[in-house]
């Protein structure tokens, strides 16, 4: 951006007579410009290069005289790029969309951000929430990289604050820019044209990066933006812009911004309809928020109430458990509950009452799943006399089956179990003490003629993620019941 400002300074010096001071100033500007170009090349940032090319092209088209300046800058940049190790290779990779992993991930993040924005078009998901929300509900299951933002200023704003906020933001940037562009081009003010080129560079770079977190970049842009507003205010005071022309420019800008936002919204709707499953928020009681994940475009085989590990937020299980189970054909209700004690058990019972009252008329079987502490909750709730005739099966992953308190111990409550139970353990989470408890639980279940079975998956088996449910095993178990 500073390089483009120096282009304007060179243009001003070029046409400002002949003197030793002028020549020295031009040489100083050229040296600084070369240094800035070198810094830009060394970033290896393809998004930064594209934004710089866009700003340079804007300056070349807008500034009628002294077109040799942007051409010389471009030639200098390309020469520096040629001298840089792997510089041309990095440049050519910008078109390698199908093979470059960075570009592929960026496109996936953009698609997820548009989907998220279309799912919450008016208010968005809330500030600084993109990372958790994207990872849980919109990120492809095969993609493990965590992103805190959408790698785009505009898509981050749309997903976190909604399309209305994006429209207002673009309007605030676009209207002063459009009017100043009209005035600067008409009067050929080289410095203002270079500042407008800086704004173009910033706006284009915002397509590829989330730069509002880098205050040195945003601060420079705001400084330029204030100068541009000052230039606009000066001409408004001087009445160099008629009301009719100004209104026409504003209306055209607003229409263009609105069209762009609408295109983004409908694109997001298309991606939203292609999602394998949809998530919605529920409030089961004042203290128990929950999420409901429903498969799309496939029939619902059954309803699963899922209890995650150790309280906290069920959103943590979104990518690892809830979405994979929904894509297998189950509607999932994931609930938040208070820790693993008696309060957590009461919350789990409240969730069960709500689920039975809400979905009893759907005619699909009800299953329970849980991970860790949640697995123990699922076993205990299934044995409650109030619910045991409604539950068709239970799958508990890495669940403790013995507890010091009888009301929280599946081993002590084994006699009340009626639904078949599948215990799944990972070798890494089944130490000798826990294994002996499991053996006792299985032996007691056999004596009491209870349908309890256990499988243990080796550490190197990718069917069981340490943070999630083994979908294939659970799906197979439930469909056999």
CATH 3.40.50.1820 spans which residues of the chain? 277-480
Per-residue pLDDT band at 107 (split at 50, 70, 90): confident
Is 193 a residue whose pLDDT tops 80? no
pLDDT of residue 201: 79
Which of 319, 300, 6 minimizes the C-alpha distance to 134? 319
Maximum C-alpha span of the chain:
105
Lowest mean pLDDT among 70-79, 330-339, 415-424, 466-475: 70-79
Residue-wise pLDDT for 340-366, tens only, equals 778 888 888 888 999 888 887 777 889
The CATH number of 277-480 is which of 3.40.50.1820, 3.30.930.10, 3.90.180.10, 3.40.50.1370? 3.40.50.1820
What would the mean pLDDT of 103-118 be, rounded to a whole number?
90
What would the mean pLDDT of 63-91 be, rounded to a whole number?
66
Q: CB neighbours of 196 closer than 8 A, spacing ≥ 6?
A: 58, 62, 177, 180, 181, 184, 228
The mean predicted confidence, pLDDT, of the chain is: 78
Residue-wise pLDDT for 5-45, tens only, equals 445 444 444 445 455 444 555 555 555 565 556 656 666 56
Residue-wise pLDDT for 374-384, tens only, equals 888 899 999 88
pLDDT of residue 428: 57
- Measured CA to CA, the distance from residue 460 to residue 363 in angstroms comes to 39
| 3-class SS of residue 467 | coil
Give the strand order in the sheet containing 421-426. Answer: 277-285, 288-295, 330-335, 302-307, 366-371, 391-397, 421-426, 452-457
pLDDT of residue 145: 79
What is the CA 118 to chain-centroid distance, rounded? Answer: 13
Per-residue pLDDT band at 385 (split at 50, 70, 90): confident
| 3-class SS of residue 68 | helix
């Amino acid at each position: 951006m500073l390089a483009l400002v120096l282009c304007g300074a060179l243009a001003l010096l070029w046409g400002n007579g002949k003197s030793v001071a002028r020549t020295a100033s031009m040489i100083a500007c050229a040296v600084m410009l070369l240094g800035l170009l070198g810094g830009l090349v060394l970033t290896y940032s393809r998004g930064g290069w594209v934004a710089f090319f866009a700003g340079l092209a804007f300056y070349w088209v807008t500034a009628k005289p002294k077109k040799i300046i942007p051409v010389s800058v471009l030639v200098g940049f390309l020469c520096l790029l040629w001298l840089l190790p792997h510089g041309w290779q990095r440049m050519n990779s910008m078109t390698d969309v199908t093979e470059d992993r960075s570009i592929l991930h960026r496109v996936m993040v953009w698609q997820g951000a548009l989907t998220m924005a279309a799912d919450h078009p008016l208010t968005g998901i809330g500030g600084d929430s993109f990372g958790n929300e994207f990872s849980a509900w919109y990120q492809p299951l095969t993609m493990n990289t965590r992103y805190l933002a959408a790698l785009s200023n505009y898509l981050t704003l749309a997903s976190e604050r909604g399309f209305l906020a994006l429209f207002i933001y673009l309007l605030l940037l676009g209207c002063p820019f459009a009017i100043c562009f009209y005035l600067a081009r008409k009067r050929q003010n080289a410095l203002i044209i270079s500042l407008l080129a800086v704004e173009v560079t910033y706006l284009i770079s915002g397509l590829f990066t989330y730069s509002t977190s880098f205050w040195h970049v945003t601060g420079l842009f705001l400084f330029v933006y204030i100068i541009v507003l000052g230039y606009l205010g000066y001409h408004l005071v001087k009445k160099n812009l008629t009301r009719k022309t100004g209104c026409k420019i504003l209306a055209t800008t607003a229409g263009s911004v609105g069209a762009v936002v609408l295109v983004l919204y409908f694109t997001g709707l298309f991606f939203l309809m292609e999602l394998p499953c949809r998530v919605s928020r529920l409030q089961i009681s004042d203290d128990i928020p929950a999420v409901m994940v429903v498969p799309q475009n496939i029939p619902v085989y059954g309803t699963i109430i899922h209890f995650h590990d150790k309280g906290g937020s069920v959103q943590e299980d979104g990518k690892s458990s809830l979405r994979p189970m929904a894509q297998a054909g189950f509607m999932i209700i994931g609930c938040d509950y208070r820790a693993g004690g008696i309060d957590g058990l009461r919350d789990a019972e409240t969730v069960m009452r709500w689920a039975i009252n809400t979905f009893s008329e759907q005619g699909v079987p009800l299953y329970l799943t849980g991970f860790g502490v949640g697995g123990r909750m699922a076993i205990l709730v299934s044995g409650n006399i109030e619910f045991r005739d409604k539950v068709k099966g239970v799958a508990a992953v890495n669940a403790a089956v013995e507890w010091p308190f009888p009301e929280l111990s599946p081993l002590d409550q084994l006699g009340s179990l009626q639904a078949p139970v599948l215990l799944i353990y990972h070798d890494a989470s089944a130490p000798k003490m826990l294994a002996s408890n499991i053996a006792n639980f299985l032996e007691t279940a056999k004596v009491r003629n209870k349908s309890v079975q256990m499988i243990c998956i080796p550490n190197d088996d990718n069917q069981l993620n340490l943070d999630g449910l083994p979908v294939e095993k659970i799906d197979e178990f439930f469909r056999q019941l």
